[in-house]
Chain A
Amino acid sequence: MSGKRISMVEKSNNKRQRVNQVPKFSINDHHDVLVEILRRLDGPSLCSAACVCRLWSAVARNDSIWEELCFRQVSPRPSLSLRSVVSALGGYRCLYFLCIRPVLARLPKLRWTRDQLQLSLSLYCVHYYERLYVGAWLGDAPPSSLMFLRKPVNVV
Chain B
Amino acid sequence: MKRDLHQFQGRLSNHGTSSSSSSKDKMMMVKKEEDGGNMDDELLAVLGYKVRSSEMAEVALKLEQLETMMGNVQEDGLSHLATDTVHYNPSELYSWLDNMLSDLNPPPPRSNGLDPILPSPDSFLTTVAGASIGGFPASDYDLKAIPGNAIYHQNQFPAIDSSSSSNNQSKRLKSCSSPDSMVTSTSTATQIGGVIGTTVTTTTAAESTRSVILVDSQENGVRLVHALMACAEAIQQNNLTLAEALVKQIGCLAVSQAGAMRKVATYFAEALARRIYRLSPPQNQIDHSLSDTLQMHFYETCPYLKFAHFTANQAILEAFEGKKRVHVIDFSMNQGLQWPALMQALALREGGPPTFRLTGIGPPAPDNSDHLHDVGCRLAQLAEVIHVEFEYRGFVANSLADLDASMLELRPSETEAVAVNSVFELHKLLGRPGGIEKVLGVVKQIKPVIFTVVEQESNHNGPVFLDRFTESLHYYSTLFDSLEGVPSSQDKVMSEVYLGKQICNLVACEGPDRVERHETLSQWGNRFGSSGFAPANLGSNAFKQASMLLSVYNSGQGYRVEENNGCLMLGWHTRPLITTSAWKLSTAAH
Q: Is the CB of B386 within 8 A of A103?
A: no
Residues of chain A lying within 8 A (CB to CB) of residue B347: 81, 85
Q: Is the CB of B554 within 8 A of A154?
A: yes
Report if A106 contacts B (CB, 8 A): yes
A125 touching B382 in the complex, CB below 8 Å, given contacts A106-B551, A119-B549, A148-B553: yes
**CB-CB contacts below 8 Å: B326-382 with A:** 336-337, 340-341, 343-345, 347-348, 352, 374, 378-379, 381-382
Q: Point out which of B313, B387, B491, B552 has the most chain A C-beta atoms below 10 A from its C-beta.
A: B552
Residues of chain A lying within 8 A (CB to CB) of residue B337: 126, 129, 145
The docked-state distance in angstroms from the alpha carbon of A147 to that of B407 is 39
B contact face: mostly helix, strand, loop, or mixed: helix
Per-residue CB contact flags for chain A residues 11-45 toward chain B (1 = under 8 Å, else 0) read 00000000000000000000000000000000000
Per-residue CB contact flags for chain B residues 531-574 toward chain A (1 = under 8 Å, else 0) read 00000000001001100110111111100000000000000000
The docked-state distance in angstroms from the alpha carbon of A134 to that of B53 is 78
Q: Is the CB of A119 within 8 A of B548?
A: yes
The docked-state distance in angstroms from the alpha carbon of A131 to that of B345 is 19
Report if B14 contacts A (CB, 8 A): no
Q: Is the CB of B545 within 8 A of A119?
A: yes
* Chain A, residue nearest B296 (CB): A143
Residues of chain B lying within 8 A (CB to CB) of residue A144: 300
Report if B49 contacts A (CB, 8 A): no
Residues of chain B lying within 8 A (CB to CB) of residue A108: 551
A85 touching B341 in the complex, CB below 8 Å, given contacts A132-B378, A156-B485: no
* Chain A, residue nearest B551 (CB): A107
Q: Is the CB of B382 within 8 A of A122?
A: no
> How many contacts between A and B, using CB within 8 angstroms?
105
**CB-CB contacts below 8 Å: A112-156 with B:** 115-116, 118-119, 121-126, 128-129, 132-133, 136, 138, 140, 143-145, 147-149, 151, 153-154, 156
Q: Is the CB of A115 within 8 A of B293?
A: no
Residues of chain B lying within 8 A (CB to CB) of residue A103: 548, 552
Residues of chain B lying within 8 A (CB to CB) of residue A156: 485, 557
Residues of chain B lying within 8 A (CB to CB) of residue A89: 344, 385-386
The docked-state distance in angstroms from the alpha carbon of A136 to that of B549 is 28
Report if B438 contacts A (CB, 8 A): no
Residues of chain B lying within 8 A (CB to CB) of residue A102: 552
B375 CB, min distance to chain A CBs, angstroms: 10
The docked-state distance in angstroms from the alpha carbon of A125 to that of B378 is 13
The docked-state distance in angstroms from the alpha carbon of A136 to that of B336 is 14
* Chain B, residue nearest A149 (CB): B552
The docked-state distance in angstroms from the alpha carbon of A90 to that of B264 is 41
Q: Is the CB of B341 within 8 A of A81?
A: no
A115 touching B548 in the complex, CB below 8 Å, given contacts A143-B300, A154-B485, A154-B554: yes
Report if B299 contacts A (CB, 8 A): yes
Q: Is the CB of B344 within 8 A of A125?
A: yes
Q: Is the CB of A147 within 8 A of B554?
A: no
A contact face: mostly helix, strand, loop, or mixed: helix
A143 touching B386 in the complex, CB below 8 Å, given contacts A119-B549, A121-B348: no
Q: Is the CB of B487 within 8 A of A136?
A: no
The docked-state distance in angstroms from the alpha carbon of A126 to that of B379 is 11
Residues of chain A lying within 8 A (CB to CB) of residue B485: 154, 156
A128 contact from B296, B299, B382, B554, Cβ within 8 A: B382
B203 CB, min distance to chain A CBs, angstroms: 50
Q: Is the CB of B548 within 8 A of A107?
A: yes
Residues of chain B lying within 8 A (CB to CB) of residue A128: 340, 382, 385
Q: Is the CB of B555 within 8 A of A129?
A: no
Report if B248 contacts A (CB, 8 A): no
Report if A79 contacts B (CB, 8 A): yes
A100 CB, min distance to chain B CBs, angstroms: 11
A125 contact from B343, B553, B554, B557, Cβ within 8 A: B343
A123 CB, min distance to chain B CBs, angstroms: 8
Report if B490 contacts A (CB, 8 A): yes
Q: Point out which of A82, A88, A123, A148 has the most chain B C-beta atoms below 10 A from its C-beta.
A: A148
Q: Is the CB of A122 within 8 A of B344?
A: yes
Report if B11 contacts A (CB, 8 A): no
Report if A48 contacts B (CB, 8 A): no
The docked-state distance in angstroms from the alpha carbon of A125 to that of B313 is 14
Report if B310 contacts A (CB, 8 A): yes
The docked-state distance in angstroms from the alpha carbon of A111 to that of B516 is 43
**CB-CB contacts below 8 Å: B278-314 with A:** 293, 296-297, 299-301, 303, 306, 310, 313
The docked-state distance in angstroms from the alpha carbon of A59 to that of B187 is 84
B386 contact from A85, A106, A145, A149, Cβ within 8 A: A85
A-B contact pairs, 11 of them (CB 8 A): A118-B345, A125-B344, A126-B341, A129-B340, A136-B378, A143-B297, A145-B300, A145-B337, A148-B301, A149-B552, A156-B557
Q: Report B's interface with A, CB cutoff 8 A.
A: 293, 296-297, 299-301, 303, 306, 310, 313, 336-337, 340-341, 343-345, 347-348, 352, 374, 378-379, 381-382, 385-387, 485, 487, 490-491, 541, 544-545, 548-549, 551-557
Among all A-B residue pairs, the 9 with the closest Cβ atoms: A122-B341, A125-B344, A129-B340, A88-B385, A125-B340, A106-B552, A132-B378, A145-B300, A85-B386
**Given known contacts A119-B549, A119-B552, what 11 new A-B pairs fall within 8 Å (CB)?**
A85-B347, A107-B551, A115-B544, A122-B313, A125-B343, A128-B385, A129-B337, A129-B379, A133-B378, A143-B299, A147-B300
